[in-house]
Homo-oligomer: A and B are copies of this chain.
Amino acid sequence: MALQHPAFAHIPATVKPKLSPKAKETIVKVYEWVENECIPAESIMERQLEGHRWAVQPKMQELRGRAREANLFNLFLPKTFKESPGLTNLEYACCAQIMGRCYWAAEKQKWLKPLLEGTAMSAYSMTEPDVAASDATNIACSLHREGNHYVINGRKVFGGSTMNKDLTFFILMVCSDPENPSAWKRHSMVIVPTNTPGIKHVRNLTIMGYDDAPQGHAEYLYTNVRVPVENLILGEGRAFEIAQGRLGPGRIHHCMRLIGQSERAYEMALVRAIDPQKKPRGKRIGDFDSNIERLAQMRLDIDTMRLIVLNAAETMDLLGNKAGRHTIAHSKIVVPSMAAKVIDECMQMHGGLGLTQETFMPHAWTYARYVRLADGPDAAHRHQVGRDELKQATQLQSKHRRYKEQASDLAAKL
């Protein structure tokens, strides 16, 4: 596979040798798909939502079918699944950064994950309006057993809107054993069909003004919602165990996509920079060396993000998700803010129209802003990193004390 193909333009030279032939082929296919099928379809997709805000668009249905045929589905699936194309995290990261260029190019995969081949959609529902969900041990929505059923009571926010009829079930995080002495064994995950009696759709939520139709976000009230005991995933009290496995990939998946969005916004800024129609004070925007410096800084920021995320992906490949936790946190803390900064600067270089629906950038910024909070605010992740670091302090104390003792010895000999 010729590495001169534009799909490889921003894959670091240090990463290219690590891509399998299969991965290279997939990267090119994903690139062609996103460039030729997804991005050009964005505006028609938007139009098809008009008047049918909560139905999946016909164009989206068509693209999904064709993606499945082209084997572009389930790229993210680990090798243990038979449908998996067998990409490493590093290879998948290279694909995801391309898919990220188009907001929904990766999205359809995520929603179809549970059923892989079907058309049903699920949503993960964790956050609650009444507790600090950034510390997930606070989740309070209750689940208790009555005979062969579990009964659920509580409130949830985000996690997709049931106005979208394709959303068929929630994967709900609940508190099943509030008195368990271990805070990490009190919670469970359970499958709840969206049409179960007792689920009240209170209202749709917007994020920075966006309703994100047709998936959407909403608030729900659960009152004595009953599901069969078989719907419990893995077993009572094992929610964190389940989460553990998918948190790493999930966290950096968002980061990878944000790099794609940043790269695309940056390309638009470069194009704007040479637009002969836009000449404040008689010069094209890219003739101002203040803008040349801004473009350079954005390029470096994007490259920095990419090195951080690819390092996390490869570390997971080498050591597993758990040992890679520091590199995942590195991505999760640094990327969303930096991507938002880059996209914001690109909008600014477009003047007033840069803030309108004329470009994809306002929505991309909103996504970056959202990821800064999704799965915990960056401050919470910094706390975790900082506490891990402090664990080594005692040992370093000995080492630094030793420096002084050896220096005294040397001075004594003088």
Residues on A lying within 8 angstroms of B by beta carbon are: 12-14, 17, 35-36, 39-44, 47, 59, 127, 129-135, 138, 157-158, 205-210, 217, 267-268, 270-271, 273-274, 277-281, 285-286, 288-297, 299-300, 303-304, 307-308, 311, 314-315, 318-319, 323-324, 327, 330, 333-334, 344, 348, 351-358, 362-363, 365-366, 369-370, 372-374, 377, 379-387, 389-390, 392-394, 396-397, 399-400, 402-403, 406-407, 409-411, 414
Residues of B within 8 A of A42 (CB): 407
17 contacts between A and B (CB under 8 A): A13-B314, A14-B315, A40-B402, A42-B407, A127-B351, A127-B352, A129-B353, A138-B280, A207-B355, A209-B209, A209-B362, A288-B289, A289-B386, A291-B386, A292-B390, A296-B383, A307-B307
Q: Is the CB of B208 within 8 A of A133?
A: no
- Besides A14-B311, A297-B382, A304-B330, 11 new A-B residue pairs in contact (Cβ under 8 A), listed by A number: A41-B410, A127-B351, A132-B279, A133-B351, A138-B279, A209-B363, A270-B390, A296-B381, A296-B386, A304-B334, A352-B373
Q: Assess A334 versus B389: contact at CB under 8 Å? Given A280-B135, A356-B217.
A: no
Residues of B within 8 A of A382 (CB): 292-293, 296-297
Q: Is the CB of A132 within 8 A of B278?
A: yes
Q: Assess A373 versus B385: contact at CB under 8 Å? Given A277-B130, A280-B138, A396-B270.
A: no
- Closest chain B residue to A266 by CB distance? B389
- Closest chain B residue to A310 by CB distance? B14
CA distance in complex: A295, B396 (Å): 14
Q: Assess A40 versus B318: contact at CB under 8 Å? Given A270-B392, A396-B270.
A: no
Residues of B within 8 A of A43 (CB): 407, 410-411
Residue in contact with A274 in the complex, picked from B35, B270, B293, B390, CB distance below 8 Å: B390
- Report the 6 A-B pairs with minimum CB-CB distance, sorted nearest first: A40-B406, A292-B386, A209-B209, A296-B386, A296-B385, A135-B280
Question: Secondary structure of the A side of the interface?
Answer: helix
CA distance in complex: A235, B131 (Å): 53
- Closest chain B residue to A398 by CB distance? B271
Expressed in whole angstroms, the minimum distance between the Cβ of A81 and any Cβ of chain B is: 25
Residues of B within 8 A of A330 (CB): 300, 303-304
- Closest chain B residue to A297 by CB distance? B382
